[in-house]
Structure 1
């Protein structure tokens, strides 16, 4: 999953909305997959930098966290082209 997420990194950065990013951060924090400090770092940046930080941090944490991000992204934005790519590679 980390490789799959890495393959769409640029598209994720370009397309994910700030609202979806905020919800993803909340869910990742709630599940203990990101620390409070990581969430604060992400929230202290503009949308593109926040998306870049989130995707890079999640990829580094491995497949389990990457899968969680992908699943939750697709729950929050199910009709996006990126979600279709991630669920139907």
Structure 2
């Protein structure tokens, strides 16, 4: 059985993520991704200039373009940061 690449998994949840993630959760996620090196300062500043939905789109797309490792780190960060049925069941089910 062939595993689905993490970038494709992120793309599958993109719509739900964009529709459902709060600005506060996005900011927390951005801080953690900056800290672990998934995004850099320039990308963080670029994302932060946008509306909530555009910020969510830009974050998912930026990380997806960086490949499987970055996508896996985003997925792990989502699971470790936002534990519980509300977020994971709604749109973070990978």
TM range (shorter): 0.7 to 0.9
| 1:2-43 CA distance string (max 9 Å, x none) | 111111111111111111111111111112221101000111
| Mapped partners of 2:10, 2:29: distance in 1 | 14
From 44, 54, 59, the counterpart of 1:49: 54
State how many pairs are aligned.
85
Structure 1 runs of 4+ aligned residues shifted over 6 Å read none
Q: Structure 1: which 5+ residue stretches go unaligned?
A: none
Structure whose alpha-carbon radius of gyration is higher: 2
CA RMSD of aligned residues (A): 1.1
| 1:40-82 CA distance string (max 9 Å, x none) | 0111111001000000000000111111111111222222222
- TM-score, normalised by the number of residues in structure 2: 0.83
